[in-house]
Amino acid sequence: MFGEINLRELAEVSGPDRAFLSLYLSRPESLERLEKRIKQTRSMLQDNGDELEHFDENIKMVREYLKKNPIESGGLCIFACWALDFLKTWPIVIEGVRGKTGHPGPSLTKAIIAADSDAGTPGAGADLLVVDSSPYIRPLAELQDEYENFAVVIADNKVARIFMVMSASRESEEKIYGDIKNHVKKGGWSQQRYERRRDKQLLLYAKDIAEKLSELDKNENFRRVLLVGSRETISEIRKVLPDQIARKLIGEKAVDLGKRTRFVNQKIFELFFEEERRSENQLWERIKGEYLRKGLAVAGARDVLEAARRGRVEIAVITRDAQIEGLRCRECENLIAGLPETCPNCNSKSLFTVDMINEIVELLTMTGAKADFVDSIPGLAAVGDIAALLRY
């Protein structure tokens, strides 16, 4: 799954020339649909013999791989560099993820590419081909940010189901049975004894669920927990959650579990993405507050790049659809924010354009920092669509 891809390993591989080919393929016929872009890219590289050779050999590597390992379903990302004898592939599958409007969450390349008629449309799962000096990991960074692993408890008074959502796919489901009786309307001591017994059963049931969550926490990597189901049951569960689990609780929602599974799953992902958007805005407000009082924050591509180079960034916030260009020097490999005519480091004119966000994401990955991709926020857009909270 894409959540298990080691981005740091990819970020550490690079070269002075545009020797890497990165492909994001959304379906079995994707490479055929990219033929026009392949031809156009090859034409654009005619004036640089080395880069043209790299591209041709990379395409050859990819075609040979896909001939032996055809895509049967779902998506695939491929990183190829003939010069380094480097070829890495990973399947990309996102299951059952639907938002309020019925559309999926961010598609494979939504924030990266303005797809032409032959490259697909973002809403359908666009295909992407990038030639650069390193693997193009921005789409993977966005996917890992958007589809973090989280645990879900779906519970009513009869049964609870606990499962992990990993890379937007359900995993490791476990059931716990409660069989808590309904309230009774009888009066007197009999009713009071019944209610006390019922409350005790509900408490023990909730504790069993909390215990299973704690066990899951020891064996799986997740930062968020959702509670979904009957109001009474999820309220009781929340009361008995141990601190380490309670800190991960980001939302709860009363849902009629008698509805169809698809409806319940829809509510789960709606809740998750609602909380994700709220978290994004909270992060931006924190960064903005630090920046306004000249604290531990920077804004704009140039300052974030410089901080990332020094390992000072804790977390960066980036507009999902932002396009920020920069340059890399072929002579000294210097990375430059902006578009000067010569390299400020060595005065060379041998420069080529790069996706500055991808370059910054690579630097963040190598220093253990995080990139949080967010929907457009006016204040963030005004400072260049990128800002960061600093470690020091």
Count how many residues are written for the chain.
392
Residue ranges of the chain assigned to CATH 3.30.1330.30: 280-392
Exposed/middle/buried for residue 316 (C-beta within 10 Å: 0-12, 13-18, 19+): buried
* Alpha helix (H) residue ranges in 69-171: 138-146
Q: For residue 280, what are its two tokens?
A: 């994004």
pLDDT for residue 108: 36
Cα–Cα distance measured from residue 142 to residue 111, given in angstroms and rounded to the nearest whole number: 8
Cα–Cα distance measured from residue 359 to residue 313, given in angstroms and rounded to the nearest whole number: 14
Distances (CA, A) of 324 to 116, 302, 366: 19, 11, 20
Instruction: Return the CATH number of 1-136, one of 3.30.2000, 3.30.300, 3.90.550, 3.30.960.
Output: 3.30.960
For residue 36, the one-letter residue type is K
For residue 89, the one-letter residue type is T
Cβ pair 335, 303 in contact under 8 A: no
Residue ranges of the chain assigned to CATH 3.30.960: 1-136
Cβ pair 152, 237 in contact under 8 A: no
Exposed/middle/buried for residue 368 (C-beta within 10 Å: 0-12, 13-18, 19+): exposed
Cβ pair 356, 305 in contact under 8 A: yes
Q: How remote is the C-alpha of 312 from its chain's centroid? A: 22
* Residue keyed to tokens 């789960």: 268
Beta-strand pair 150-155/159-166: antiparallel
Cβ pair 141, 361 in contact under 8 A: yes
pLDDT for residue 187: 54
Q: For residue 390, what are its two tokens?
A: 């600093």
Domain 280-392, classified CATH 3.30.1330.30, yes or no: yes
Q: For residue 152, what are its two tokens?
A: 């879900």
* Closest C-alpha to 369, from 324, 311, 319, 317: 311
Tens-binned pLDDT, residue by residue, of the chain (392 aa)? 666 789 999 999 987 689 999 999 988 889 999 999 999 999 999 999 999 999 999 999 999 999 999 988 778 999 999 999 999 999 886 554 433 333 334 433 332 332 333 333 333 347 899 999 999 999 999 988 888 888 999 998 888 989 888 765 566 667 788 777 665 455 555 667 767 888 888 999 999 999 999 999 998 888 889 999 999 999 999 999 999 999 999 888 888 887 777 788 888 888 888 888 888 999 999 999 999 999 999 999 999 999 999 999 999 999 998 999 999 999 998 999 999 999 999 999 999 999 999 999 999 999 999 999 999 999 999 999 999 999 99
Cβ-proximal residues to 368 (8 Å cutoff; 6+ apart), any chain = none
Residues 282, 283, 285: CA angle, nearest 5 degrees: 65
Residue ranges of the chain assigned to CATH 3.30.420.60: 150-258
CATH superfamily of the domain spanning 150-258: eRF1 domain 2 (3.30.420.60)
Q: Which helix (H) or strand (E) holds 337?
A: strand 335-337
